[in-house]
Structure 1
């Protein structure tokens, strides 16, 4: 770079801050607009480290043996899993007991809690002292001996506790022995379909951010062009003017990068107090990838120079003024179609190649194809706005003012909503793909929550006599309206020649509860019934079997010869009843004596009792800390798919906030740049209400056209994505409507927030000049 070029760039940088208060305001708006985008981009490239840090901490505290035998040593610690729910939040619970003089300690603890004491996470400690945690205090009423440190938690918002116990034994179900904590993080990666979803999510969420950065770089274009005309007046040629403009844009972009970095650092300091869709991270986890962060820092100023130089193509900067190409100059369509066509051509070779069982795909090919299609929305929108508004004539004064402004310079208004249109198009395509693959990641459980809402399982340490006590405790819980209980055991038949051991379920319950499972008719203690279920062949009466409950050694038993065959009914938990149903008197005393029996209670609660579920969980905890409680759900969703969907909702919420904030900055900058024109119109008698409606229409027309274009592009993108995963093309009209309505709501909210500034700019003081 020659010294003259450097001087011209530096002159442009000086001019970026020139112009008194107006220049400073212009520079501040540019810095804020670019900074918002840079902060979002830095946060996005921090996501891999955030999720890896959470995963590493979770792996470091792993305490499950999964069947592995661990020998008893001086360092042994017994650990029992006692996870639970409170409201809509999960609580990670562990019971611990030292087996030696130097027991190993989980990460985040300095010592094991003594029996009857808890060590809790900071979030759980805060919850327990609030009125919101009153019911939880009834369950976890133990004194807190300390707090779990950061290294023992996935995130600052996690609810977790360790409870000391002096009754744990290695033979207790759900209890394992550990001589060290932590396992290698061997979690499986995402299958190709979920990976494709994640890649598209990143493109859809980040591309609108880049569009807003490019739009913010062009703040104050009219004022800049007038300054460049003054530079031409003192002898600068066209090339020098362009380089001066590039220097001005570069400094503005650098200020935006610095502002974005400061916003990122400020936001990171508060990230520990924010939880989105159940995900929370520590500030130290929010660390952008160094290579990608450096790329952002270098790309934003470079993009600023490119955008500025390209924007000057439609401007003739002369010594005596600025001449812009008239609104009648038609934009060319053919080259704007190249981007979406190129995107489709990139994606077409992938059609039918991505499935849950496939080996993978080219991620960069997908990123390029989706980016080209969405960028086509950005290039087509100015052409669409011009083509439509040039044919509009007549109407009320406010409408004519808005249309005339769009006819003279519709590109500015189109740029303001380009990011919204790109976001909507991407969201529609993504929604279509989500709707198509969702069925592959969820299954029908057969559960019927209309008949019972909660399933609770508790151990019966003293055998079947404890069942009546547990059932009565559940029935007495406030909010419970009905309950049925039973024990599920397993019958093993004679091994087949190939070594396979057939098995069938054995349900133990009283007559009243058995009547809910099958059409048994008359019933008395000692009766047994064989369920006639064609999908599950039960052992015939007189068949010798071995009864097993949990991991007991088994008890020989013969299905009574007088067992009647009965028709099954639909069980709210397991669907059609199968196997053999027995009353207590039909089983050997060794089976009824436990201690391996478990009671399963199906509980119906009053819908008006909002705390009924938590009270049932508390009752279960008091009966058996190693039991389980869950709410019946007709569908079961794959955990990884649920995590991807939750991440999408969290990212969409953040992106939507950024879109609104950035768009507000854009609108305020446009109003500020036209403050003198607004003041002149009011001075000549234009009503404020008319100007307000004109601004609304001026925003609404590009928005409506942008949403129409976005819907068309989104449906096209969704169709291609569906063909890639081999799914039939189906349009989710409900999803399209919701996405479009949200985008429209953001635009209307931004317009409403800009009205006070509009009214202030229409005062007579706007006629003053510096």
Structure 2
């Protein structure tokens, strides 16, 4: 057999796929829709690396604080940048205050001109929010006039909230942290950070778990229209085609549907790419222009999908006898063998076994072994499920009419039923394993913030130069603020510049000071030296000698301080440090307002601990607005007891977004598959109705035909998913625990999708259950 004969037979099959009249077109279209949905998701997946790369490049290009190259003195190219970000409800707003110091100062990406003081340039999403009723409270916090919008090159996504506001007077506040002087944005010397091996393992498993159901659905879609195809194959044998040629023509028909599926998949991808710009999932959005599939990966999809269609069809027909008078498929088939089906998951476990106990301390996990092992375990679900369905339905007994119709249909075509639920079973198995892995390692990436949320709900830092007493009064008048603890602090040293002994001075009334120390007695004018502070190592005792000359706000390196001299008074009291609301035992000196030297007041940085009234829904927003009015560069931080590592949280977000897409594909593909099966059986359904079978009975039978395979598939998926999850936990050197809530939730989601698909297929089923369906030409 030469390639020319293969090409001729496949081409004939492609022609048959589109020249069989309405039936042929419907069959080809169903196949193409199923394949197209899978192809679209594969193309979107291949575009993810491009989108992530674009987001990283844009993030680096606009970076300024902490990573920007800071310069010491002003120049024609220098620019002062301060952190002016805020949070509105649950959305973070990236904000920067800009003050150019020369005519050639570099603009941030996406900005055409510097805003003047009282003006700001915002992203389109932030502009929409500020002009809406929802953003009324935020507009009070950002009163500047909007003079422009930030271009796409300066944003990570269309839904990102970003602003650049004009400012002045930033030169005196340069500290190399929240306020910096720079001559360009970005960090050209940044080097890629090595990812944690466990996080890398999570990413690998997520990609395999999300893409495997797509491949299963594509393989199932190319086998649509099996019964009509059987009659055509018999006719081909009748006109002289041999069995091998007939199988190649059948493969050509599947190839035609797959090629049309590639076209539809490209259309679906373009539509999905445009729609991606309108969605904001967990604060993640992308521009359509960023979703560019890798040419090599896109070519791989374009070649692999048609090739898979041909191979799957030839594999499906390997045990089918095609004769001129019909296809011998209704005879009792040989029982499926179990031994080779067990080899696949066992081989997957064998590939993962060498990495058991490796954890994060023994280098990266072998990517090929991880990918291959997880892939074989999930493929094991698709190979075991047909055997499980055949074995179980073969032993089901008698029941009602609907039950008997469903069971008999499953006994005759258990393979078709298994194919329909293979994708959902694979998705659920992978999801269970991932949820177990996430739950097992979550504690390693979740840290306690140390904040005592029972003592405060928010901490506001108002920088030096502000009226601390006036700020405290403003917060007390703010709607929803129930309690305010006002403390101020400033550094203290034994020398004017770069002191070798240094500590801190905290100022507050007696009630506020009792939040950081156990005071023996207190009245205005008292000064205390703290004992038992963390990391003190006797420094406070050395500095607290009466009469010693110390300096408030000394200078360090390039950072200029006020260098205010202060003599330790003779009437110094001692106090024991306790944990403050931040969970820290302070060291140094505590001063009541009456003991603060007047020249030191402008050097104090205000720390305010706020407690909110839970009956006021927007108390947090009112407090943030008040802090912005007191100091536009104030840092208002709402407290939480724990915080997750950003990369771990980002990977979990990516899993959620990917799982949402895959679940949508699962539902759509299951619906297409269900409609295709109903269409093939319309004459049988019409005959049953004509003989007096109740429609309720037929509807129940369709429900049982769906429920039995999906129940078996979910049980198998649970077993395989828990096994894979346990192995992955052992690989990360984490104790094996079963997160039953995740297992039950994933199983419930899978069952809910099938129930939804069954409900959507009932209207077409009722239309098909008419005696008129027996008419033919």
Aligned equivalent of 2:168: 166
2:463 matches 1:459: yes
Structure 1 pair 395–145 and aligned structure 2 pair: CA distance change class (3 A): same
Give aligned pairs, total. 761
How far has the Cα of 1:27 moved from its partner?
A: 1.1
Distance change (3 Å), C-alpha of 1:391 and 1:70:
same
* Contact persistence 1:343–1:369 (CA under 8 A): yes
What residue in structure 2 maps to residue 155 of structure 1? 157
Q: 1:266 to 1:750 in 2, by over 3 A?
A: same
> Contact conserved, 2:70 with 2:180, CA < 8 A, in 1?
no
Q: Using the alignment, how far apart are the partners of 2:693 and 2:584 within structure 1?
A: 72
In structure 2, the CA distance between the partners of 1:398 and 1:460, relative to structure 1 (3 Å rule), is same
Aligned equivalent of 1:250, options 255, 269, 275: 255
Distance 1:429 1:322, change over 3 A: same
Q: Per-residue displacement from partner, 1:564-595 (whole Å, max 9, x unpaired)?
A: 4445555333355665433233444443x22x
Question: Which residue of structure 2 aligns with residue 749 of structure 1?
Answer: 756
- Hey, what's the Cα distance between the residues in 1 that align with 2:501 and 2:706? 70
Q: 1:18 to 1:615 in 2, by over 3 A?
A: same
- The reply on whether 1:542 has 2:551 as its aligned counterpart is no
Kept after mapping to 2: 8 A contact 1:536/1:579: no
Question: 1:603 maps to which residue?
Answer: 610
Q: Distance in 2 between matches of 1:298 and 1:10?
A: 16
Contact 2:495 2:554 in 1 (8 A): no
CA distance in 1, matches of 2:442, 2:237: 61
Does the Cα contact within 8 Å between 1:337 and 1:380 map onto a contact in 2? yes
Give the stretch that moved more between structures: 339-348 or 757-766.
757-766
Taking a change above 3 Å as real, the CA distance of residues 501 and 370 of structure 1, as seen in their structure-2 partners, is farther
Matched, 1:488 2:489: yes
Partner of 2:583: 574
Deviations 1:424-457 (A, max 9, x none): 1111111111112111112111213233211111
SS in 1 for 2:413: helix
Q: Is it true that 1:330 corresponds to 2:327 in the alignment?
A: no
Contact preservation (8 Å) 1:70, 1:179: no
Identify which range, 640-649 or 601-610, moves more after superposition.
601-610
Change (3 A) 1:315 1:598: same
Q: Bigger shift: 536-545 or 321-330?
A: 536-545
Q: Matches of residues 383-402 of structure 1 in structure 2 within 5 Å?
A: 383-402=387-406
Structure 2 residue aligned with 1:707, among 710, 714, 730? 714
**Which residue number corresponds to residue 735 of structure 1?**
742
Does the Cα contact within 8 Å between 1:573 and 1:632 map onto a contact in 2? no
CA contact (8 A) 2:534 2:585 kept: no
Cα offsets for 1:624-667 (capped at 9, x unmatched): 11111111111121111111111111111111111111111111
Report the 3-state secondary structure (helix = DSSP H, G, I; strand = E; otherwise coil) of the residue aligned with 1:313.
Answer: coil
> How far, CA to CA, are the matches of 2:410 and 2:345 in structure 1?
25
Q: Deviations over 1:601-640 (max 9, x none)?
A: 1111122322211111111111111111111111121111
User: What is the root-mean-square deviation of aligned Cα atoms in Å?
Assistant: 2.3
Tell me which residue corresponds to 2:522: 523
Give the counterpart of 2:180 among 165, 176, 181.
Answer: 176
- Match of residue 656 from structure 1: 663
Unmatched tracts of structure 2, length 5 or more: none
Aligned ranges for residues 141-540 of structure 1 at < 5 Å? 141-169=143-171, 171-173=173-175, 174-184=178-188, 185-324=190-329, 326-327=331-332, 329-355=334-360, 357-461=361-465, 466-491=467-492, 504-533=503-532, 537=536, 539-540=540-541
1:61 equivalenced with 2:70 (yes/no): no
Whether contact under 8 Å (2:489, 2:506) holds in the other structure is: yes
Quote the offset at 1:692 in angstroms: 1.4
For the structure 1 residues 76 and 456, does the alpha-carbon distance in structure 2 shift closer, same or farther, using more than 3 Å as the test? Answer: same
Is the contact between residue 460 and residue 597 of structure 1 (CA under 8 Å) also seen in structure 2? yes
2:653 to 628, 646, 649: 646
Residue segments in structure 1 that go unaligned for 5+ positions in a row:
none
The structure-2 alpha-carbon separation of the partners of 1:590 and 1:327, relative to structure 1 and needing over 3 Å to count, comes to farther
What residue number does 2:10 align with? Answer: 9
**Corresponding residue of 2:642:** 635
Q: Deviation string for 1:679-721 (max 9, x for gaps)?
A: 1111111111111111111111111111111111111111111
- Residues 327 and 409 in structure 1, CA contact (< 8 A), matched pair in contact too: no
C-alpha spacing 1:502/1:312, structure 2 compared with 1 (3 Å): farther
Deviation for aligned residue 1:295: 0.5
Q: Which one of 101, 121, 124 corresponds to residue 122 of structure 1?
A: 124
Q: Give the alignment partner of residue 101 of structure 1, picking from 86, 94, 103.
A: 103
Change (3 A) 1:549 1:367: farther
Q: Which residue of 2 aligns with 1:692?
A: 699
| 1:355-381 deviation line (CA, Å, top 9, x unaligned) | 0x4432321111001000110011111
Question: Partner of 2:690 in structure 1?
Answer: 683
- The secondary structure found in structure 2 opposite 1:45 is helix
Distance 1:33 1:561 in 2: 86
Determine helix, strand or coil for the equivalent of 1:604.
strand
CA distance in 2, matches of 1:110, 1:494: 47
Asked if residue 583 in structure 1 is aligned to residue 587 in structure 2, the reply is no
Distance 1:563 1:731 in 2: 58
Deviates more, 1:502-511 or 1:341-350: 502-511
Q: Greater CA deviation, 440-449 or 321-330?
A: 321-330
Residue 352 and residue 553 in structure 1: after superposition, are their counterparts in 2 closer, same or farther (change >3 A)? farther
Give the Cα separation in 1 of the matches to 2:563 and 2:749.
60
Residue 166 of structure 1, CA deviation = 3.4
Distance 1:725 1:503, change over 3 A: farther
CA distance in 1, matches of 2:735, 2:356: 12
Length-normalised TM-score, structure 1? 0.94
In 2, the alpha carbon distance for the partners of 1:175 and 1:662 equals 54
Query: What SS does the aligned partner of 2:277 have?
Result: helix
Quote the offset at 1:327 in angstroms: 4.8
CA distance in 1, matches of 2:568, 2:673: 79
Helix, strand or coil at the partner of 1:245: helix
Q: What TM-score comes out, normalization by structure 2 length? A: 0.93
Specify whether residues 621 and 255 from structure 1 end up closer, same or farther in structure 2 by C-alpha distance, changes over 3 A only.
same
Q: 8 Å contact 1:65–1:177 — kept in the other structure? A: no
Shift of 1:53: 0.4
Specify whether residues 327 and 491 from structure 1 end up closer, same or farther in structure 2 by C-alpha distance, changes over 3 A only: farther
Q: What SS does structure 1 have at the residue aligned with 2:44?
A: helix
Checking the alignment, whether the CA contact within 8 Å between 1:486 and 1:513 is kept in structure 2 is yes
* C-alpha separation in 2, matches of 1:769 and 1:189: 67
